[in-house]
A and B are shown apart, each in its own frame.
Chain A
């Protein structure tokens, strides 16, 4: 292997030059004016392997350093080279090409790794000289070098891998140990400036343009390929138009009008996902599974409800409803769910949300809750510490920074899970087939802020909600807050379906705050549909109303919890002027709809029969005018609520976002801070004169008094 040629430098030059010529031949093919060399022509058919080897070099466009690239070319360029062969013979100036690669082949055969490395860094200049010297190089060595080339090529192919390109020629695999051995042997002379320049030039050519993925190198390769394939009459004349055509074709793949386009990917992906829905669960097989499934599951009968809603003219199409059903079934299998209901669909700008309202089994959910609470409590503890230390530091400092008088309003604690607004857990997914994501519990401040803003949902749960007043949370929180508001406002049931439990002590304890639980009435007989439509008193809300505070049960924000008492003794003193906060009261649970407030002289609910043509089989449908998209139906003993819409409340006026707060005063203005104009000279003199007069008057008075006294004494 390592036969260092006697003359490192001259062979290196021609090799690199020949390589350079190959690299740049396409650019310079028309610029070359080399003398023909008859000897070279004879040797053209000799070395298919060298041909291939040298071609492979050029194909390696990702990296210039390292041997492997020298030795490989794409088949394309291979063809080009071969195509060029006969073309060259008639004496075209590009004849140097065979000369070039032949010489390279010969020279490659005579080199070892150490020389190839510096050659890669050779500059562009003096190509002509190099070629000539290469040409004079070692023609006689060809046979022997050929064989050497075969052997030598192998070790170098995986040489110093500087780039991502991995050669896939199986003959070029070998162990690094050989490489190590070889590199040990060789000396690495200083990279020649010309080689370096060549490498830089090639790297520059391979740079991809900013606007596209195309590099100049590729484009030129395509252009020359095209020219050589088409063989037009006067290629130089047509060069510019061909250039433009090649560029255009790169970006506009030809569409065959007779054949169909390759088919669309996104629909395939979606179908794959939904196919997974339809597969049976892997646990259990055969009869056992059938029995399990026919037993009661938490999954509701979506298809039946969809049928009734369809009678009302509301709802998703039947196949989409079925997919929702399968998705809910999947959810029930994945999570420990006690009851589940399809709450509805919230439409978004990019994607929509399918919402499922679930209740976990007892004890399941609390594990996650505790983790979250611990984290938040830990955070608060740290913050409190920080504050105390900060206070001490401030006292010690000589310059006391004035403390801001603004105190953040007390944080109203969120309701516990399974009570109030957090009674149910909500899962959302964008499409049936996609994974269900759990929404966090809602806090009162989020509900309060959600009432003030109006934003469309984008479909991505982690999207920020940018608004004024700022919403504390991202889209997942905003979605949850809207779901809470819609549930509280529009979930209704026929009168009598739910009744209060039989605990009578509740009213006295809670001070009239109302009961917050109900149960199904087993004796419910159903109300005739016509009566349901006629009077709104036959429907009741079965979710608690949300107070202006943001909770269902009122909490006095000024009550100190234990933590606060530990921290803020100073705060207590400051709070002497406690405002008395009135308890907020909302309508109690199971209030009939007839008590709902009107909007602009308009009833908040509209009730219809689903079909006037056949009233005996119709369903009573109630539509909310306050939350467009909220519907409820009832027929016999069945009823259901659904919401399909954008998630916004109806407002007769267009929405105006609230204006930002007025600019705060920076400092109280007074004589200290306000610039006063200095008194003018006249004023000063006038003042002086007045003062003198006053003095003189005072003296006179004194004198008068003294005289009086003297007179008195005299008398």
Chain B
């Protein structure tokens, strides 16, 4: 949610039951402005909230000129002080895939995971139980990254690609019409395209290269994992992703 239209977006997404209390909303509005100024972002988006046992993390992302470039992620525990998170890497993902259960809410908390590792001591090779410590911050980073890759969704036409490379916001985009908004094919995964190059030439002939440069939601497996449960009285449609329930796109 863009910091500028935060309140409206929160209202629209309230159908899922998750919202922000007034004090959080007020502090978010203020602090996001400051973050934008300090980090010199083009836009600051409020990504969401991850619930933890002791405390909740509030996540924000900053976007620079190129929309599809990796974003900088920040987290805060009280919506006032924000800390930058390191970018996600593959090793982080494999490392944190073993941790299950809820977040604690304490960024310095360390999860202990015992692994059997082969240790060479001289000539002997035997397995030893090694306790691997995984920091919660790492887990946070990789979880955010996975969620983004899986479910970040953008409507067709909102971004366009120029021949020079950078991807810009389409200022003439007025939204999708109601009939288009109900179709899965008018939404894209907001990430580097994976399936695009696998399409046949016939399919590619129908695509518009300036608009269709990301994977569409149509071909997701399992079918029906993204759906449209609600039409808000104002006409906006809420789309929720079944793979990662808790993610709502308005």
Q: Using CB atoms and an 8 Å cutoff, list the residues of chain A in contact with chain B.
A: 261, 264, 266-267, 270-271, 274, 310-317, 320, 345, 347-352, 456, 459, 600, 602-603, 606, 610-614, 623, 625, 628-629, 644-646, 652-653
Asked if B224 is at the interface of the complex by the 8 Å CB criterion, the answer is: yes
**Beta-carbon contact of A310 and B17 below 8 Å:** no
A sample of 18 cross-chain residue pairs with beta-carbon separation below 8 angstroms, ordered by A number, consists of: A261-B177, A267-B235, A270-B233, A314-B19, A315-B14, A316-B14, A316-B15, A320-B15, A347-B240, A349-B227, A350-B227, A351-B229, A600-B101, A611-B21, A644-B16, A644-B17, A644-B18, A652-B100
**Beta-carbon contact of B229 and A352 below 8 Å:** yes
A274/B101 contact (C-beta < 8 A), A312-B21, A314-B17 known? no
Minimum distance in angstroms from B174 CB to a CB of chain A: 11
**Beta-carbon contact of B16 and A266 below 8 Å:** no
Chain B residues whose CB sits within 8 angstroms of the CB of A312 once the complex forms = 21
**Beta-carbon contact of B230 and A352 below 8 Å:** yes
For B177, B233, B245, which residue has the most chain A Cβ atoms within 10 angstroms? B233
Asked if B23 is at the interface of the complex by the 8 Å CB criterion, the answer is: yes
Minimum distance in angstroms from A124 CB to a CB of chain B: 40
**Beta-carbon contact of B231 and A645 below 8 Å:** no
**In the complex, which of the residues B53, B100, B178 contacts A653, with contact meaning CB atoms closer than 8 Å?**
B100
A311/B21 contact (C-beta < 8 A), A320-B14, A351-B229, A603-B53 known? yes
Asked if B83 is at the interface of the complex by the 8 Å CB criterion, the answer is: no
Minimum distance in angstroms from B13 CB to a CB of chain A: 9
Find residues 114-129 in chain B having any chain A CB closer than 8 Å to their own CB: none
**Beta-carbon contact of B233 and A274 below 8 Å:** yes
With A and B bound together, what is the CA distance between A4 and B178 in angstroms? 61
**Beta-carbon contact of B23 and A602 below 8 Å:** no
Asked if B108 is at the interface of the complex by the 8 Å CB criterion, the answer is: no
**Beta-carbon contact of A645 and B100 below 8 Å:** no
**Beta-carbon contact of A350 and B229 below 8 Å:** yes
Chain B residues whose CB sits within 8 angstroms of the CB of A600 once the complex forms = 100-101
Minimum distance in angstroms from B146 CB to a CB of chain A: 14
Closest to B23 in A: A611
**In the complex, which of the residues B22, B78, B177, B242 contacts A310, with contact meaning CB atoms closer than 8 Å?**
B22
Chain A residues whose CB sits within 8 angstroms of the CB of B228 once the complex forms = 350
**In the complex, which of the residues B17, B101, B240 contacts A602, with contact meaning CB atoms closer than 8 Å?**
B101
Minimum distance in angstroms from A597 CB to a CB of chain B: 15
**Beta-carbon contact of B233 and A315 below 8 Å:** no
Q: Using CB atoms and an 8 Å cutoff, list the residues of chain B in contact with chain A.
A: 11, 14-24, 51, 53-54, 78, 100-102, 177-178, 224, 227-231, 233-235, 240, 242, 245
Chain B residues whose CB sits within 8 angstroms of the CB of A316 once the complex forms = 14-15, 17, 19
**Beta-carbon contact of A266 and B229 below 8 Å:** no
- Known: A311-B22, A606-B54; 4 extra A-B contacts, CB below 8 A, are A317-B11, A347-B240, A350-B228, A602-B102
With A and B bound together, what is the CA distance between A271 and B234 in angstroms? 9
Closest to B248 in A: A347
Minimum distance in angstroms from B28 CB to a CB of chain A: 12
**In the complex, which of the residues A264, A456, A645 contacts B242, with contact meaning CB atoms closer than 8 Å?**
A456
Chain B residues whose CB sits within 8 angstroms of the CB of A351 once the complex forms = 229-230
A606/B53 contact (C-beta < 8 A), A347-B240, A349-B224, A600-B101 known? yes
**Beta-carbon contact of B231 and A610 below 8 Å:** no
Chain A residues whose CB sits within 8 angstroms of the CB of B240 once the complex forms = 347
**In the complex, which of the residues A311, A352, A625, A646 contacts B15, with contact meaning CB atoms closer than 8 Å?**
A352
**Beta-carbon contact of A348 and B229 below 8 Å:** yes
With A and B bound together, what is the CA distance between A602 and B51 in angstroms? 14
With A and B bound together, what is the CA distance between A347 and B224 in angstroms? 15
A645/B15 contact (C-beta < 8 A), A270-B233, A271-B233 known? no
For B14, B24, B235, B245, which residue has the most chain A Cβ atoms within 10 angstroms? B14
Minimum distance in angstroms from B228 CB to a CB of chain A: 8
Minimum distance in angstroms from A678 CB to a CB of chain B: 55
Chain A residues whose CB sits within 8 angstroms of the CB of B178 once the complex forms = 264, 266-267
With A and B bound together, what is the CA distance between A652 and B233 in angstroms? 36
Closest to B235 in A: A267
**Beta-carbon contact of A645 and B17 below 8 Å:** yes
A267/B233 contact (C-beta < 8 A), A316-B15, A646-B245 known? yes
With A and B bound together, what is the CA distance between A653 and B101 in angstroms? 8
Chain A residues whose CB sits within 8 angstroms of the CB of B235 once the complex forms = 264, 267
Chain A residues whose CB sits within 8 angstroms of the CB of B233 once the complex forms = 267, 270-271, 274
With A and B bound together, what is the CA distance between A394 and B27 in angstroms? 80
With A and B bound together, what is the CA distance between A347 and B227 in angstroms? 12
A614/B242 contact (C-beta < 8 A), A267-B231, A270-B231 known? no
**Beta-carbon contact of A317 and B229 below 8 Å:** no
Closest to B49 in A: A313
**Beta-carbon contact of A610 and B15 below 8 Å:** no
Chain B residues whose CB sits within 8 angstroms of the CB of A644 once the complex forms = 16-18
The 7 closest A-B pairs by CB, nearest first: A644-B17, A317-B14, A313-B21, A264-B178, A652-B100, A611-B23, A349-B227
With A and B bound together, what is the CA distance between A310 and B233 in angstroms? 21
Closest to B53 in A: A606
With A and B bound together, what is the CA distance between A352 and B16 in angstroms? 10
With A and B bound together, what is the CA distance between A603 and B54 in angstroms? 10
With A and B bound together, what is the CA distance between A310 and B53 in angstroms? 20
For A347, A348, A629, which residue has the most chain B Cβ atoms within 10 angstroms? A347
Chain B residues whose CB sits within 8 angstroms of the CB of A311 once the complex forms = 21-22
Minimum distance in angstroms from B192 CB to a CB of chain A: 26
With A and B bound together, what is the CA distance between A30 and B95 in angstroms? 77
A266/B231 contact (C-beta < 8 A), A316-B15, A316-B17, A602-B101 known? yes
For B20, B53, B102, which residue has the most chain A Cβ atoms within 10 angstroms? B102
Minimum distance in angstroms from B77 CB to a CB of chain A: 10
With A and B bound together, what is the CA distance between A351 and B237 in angstroms? 12
**Beta-carbon contact of B17 and A629 below 8 Å:** yes
Chain A residues whose CB sits within 8 angstroms of the CB of B102 once the complex forms = 602, 625
Minimum distance in angstroms from A254 CB to a CB of chain B: 15
**Beta-carbon contact of B19 and A602 below 8 Å:** no
With A and B bound together, what is the CA distance between A311 and B177 in angstroms? 35
**Beta-carbon contact of B21 and A610 below 8 Å:** yes
A317/B19 contact (C-beta < 8 A), A349-B242, A603-B53 known? yes
Chain B residues whose CB sits within 8 angstroms of the CB of A629 once the complex forms = 17
With A and B bound together, what is the CA distance between A652 and B100 in angstroms? 6
**In the complex, which of the residues B16, B19, B230, B231 contacts A313, with contact meaning CB atoms closer than 8 Å?**
B19
Chain B residues whose CB sits within 8 angstroms of the CB of A266 once the complex forms = 178, 231
For A313, A316, A610, A611, which residue has the most chain B Cβ atoms within 10 angstroms? A313
Minimum distance in angstroms from A84 CB to a CB of chain B: 39
With A and B bound together, what is the CA distance between A628 and B52 in angstroms? 12
Chain B residues whose CB sits within 8 angstroms of the CB of A603 once the complex forms = 53
Closest to A352 in B: B229
With A and B bound together, what is the CA distance between A217 and B124 in angstroms? 88
Minimum distance in angstroms from B184 CB to a CB of chain A: 13
Minimum distance in angstroms from B225 CB to a CB of chain A: 9
With A and B bound together, what is the CA distance between A613 and B21 in angstroms? 12
Minimum distance in angstroms from B32 CB to a CB of chain A: 17
Chain B residues whose CB sits within 8 angstroms of the CB of A274 once the complex forms = 233
Chain A residues whose CB sits within 8 angstroms of the CB of B16 once the complex forms = 347, 644
Closest to B179 in A: A264
Chain A residues whose CB sits within 8 angstroms of the CB of B11 once the complex forms = 317
With A and B bound together, what is the CA distance between A644 and B16 in angstroms? 7
With A and B bound together, what is the CA distance between A248 and B79 in angstroms? 54
